[in-house]
Amino acid sequence: MLALLGALAGALRFWQVKRAPHPELVRKLLHVGMGLVTLSFPWIFRSPWPVVALAALAVGAMLALRHVAPLRAKLGDVVHGVGRDSGGEIYFPIAVALVFTLAQGVPILYVVPVLLLTLADATAALIGVRYGTLKIGTLDGGVKSVEGTLAFFMVAFLCTHLSLLLTTHVGRVETLLIGLEIGFLVMLVELIAWRGLDNLFIPLFSFALLYNIEYLQVHELTQRLVFLVLLSGFVLAWRKRTTLDPGALVAAVLVAHVFWTVGGLAWLAPPVACFATYALLWPEDRLRRGSSHDLRAVLAFSAVGLGWLFVATRHPALDWSYLGAAAFAAQLTVIGCAATDLPGRAPWGPRRLAQCALVGWIVPFLPYVLLHKLDLRTVQLAGAALPAVVLALLAFNLRWAKLRDAPYSMERWVTQAAASAVGSLLALIPWRLLPA
């Protein structure tokens, strides 16, 4: 394996010196060659340790090509000739080792993610370079093209559908539906990835999807696909009523899909209610700054809720969605106060804090109450969350004076996520004390 990979890099460098092809073509040929070689791993290695060792050696070689001047001068342009800052060549072998380990000897769970990484990602890059005209910005200031993204979807769909159809006992209709869902969702992941992280996100996300849907029935797969289409249509139609940029909107679709498929409507309704109402409740920020919130805003908003959702999958006997609703209520309260803190306006006063806290609490807890039993405990739990939301807002307010001049900095989003965590942790007290 090492000899094959080394020979591939040497041959590409020789071709690069003799013919001077486009740097992106050379880089993606190395990408495809490495991927095709690694596709053989399930039939060569029984244990993950040889694959982990190969990945460690590959990462070391890529770091050497990046930082050792003589090696970079001889072979470095094969990887770094594109002239952009990317860690994709390092993430590639790490992703291969992780997926091989997670697949636990089931070839299809390894082959499909690596195929998507090998063929779909390379096709998207080459189509984008040659034909891309409609551009979408990424978090690091880079750009991707709509044309490349559509090419990614087509190849990802075919890789998933044909692999399942030809190597498993999954039915024809099921393979079509699975291919459509995985192709579309992984396309969204590739669209918002930055600095080469798509080489890590694509295989891991596609593995998680394939692991969870391979054995679903036709009607279940159809429901998931219909929901995905409706959700994407809603976000697209509602985009001008939000402050999210295109990458953040894509991330919102992915996060909502996770809440729906893993937790169901009880987990989905509170964040969707917040998404649909926050800019209408406090339109000042949207009218003043437009689509100013990027991917970090969506990650900060959803991080604590996703954490509680993960806990719910480990301990399904308890209703953890209450803590998720408390986290979203704290988030919406903080968003309201930050959105109304306009230049020239007096600092937050008790009245504005109370208004934001009350509205931020009502929006996610109204669907929570409606989707649960309308009994005394549900109403008591919803009411008991209000003090937790207020305390979370006060905790955020301790840092806001230093953040208001840089409201879209990373520190702001980390602070907002921390305030959400405070609110949901405080909501643990009534959740545990009130009798079931």
d(CA 31, CA 16): 15
The SS3 call for residue 310 is: helix
Pull the structure tokens for residue 159. Answer: 């890789």
Q: C-alpha dihedral over 175, 177, 179, 180, to 10 degrees?
A: 160
Phi-psi region at 195: left, alpha or beta (left = phi > 0; alpha = psi -120 to 50): left
CA 346 vs. chain centroid, Å, equals 37
Q: pTM (2 decimals)? A: 0.88
By residue count, the chain amounts to 436
pLDDT in tens, the chain (436 residues): 888 888 887 888 788 778 777 777 787 788 888 899 999 999 999 999 999 999 999 888 888 777 676 666 565 555 555 555 567 778 989 999 999 999 998 999 999 999 999 999 889 888 888 887 888 777 666 778 889 999 999 999 999 999 999 998 999 999 999 999 999 999 999 888 877 788 899 999 999 999 888 778 999 999 999 999 999 999 999 988 898 988 899 999 999 999 999 999 999 999 999 999 998 888 877 767 667 788 999 999 999 999 999 999 999 888 899 999 999 999 999 998 888 876 556 666 788 888 889 999 999 999 999 998 778 888 999 999 999 999 999 999 888 878 877 778 889 899 999 999 999 999 999 998 887 6
CA angle 393, 396, 401 (to 5 degrees): 125
H or E stretch including 327? Answer: helix 321-339
Q: Where are the domains of the chain?
A: 223-436
Cα–Cα separations (whole angstroms), residue 66 to 90, 200, 305, 341: 10, 19, 38, 46
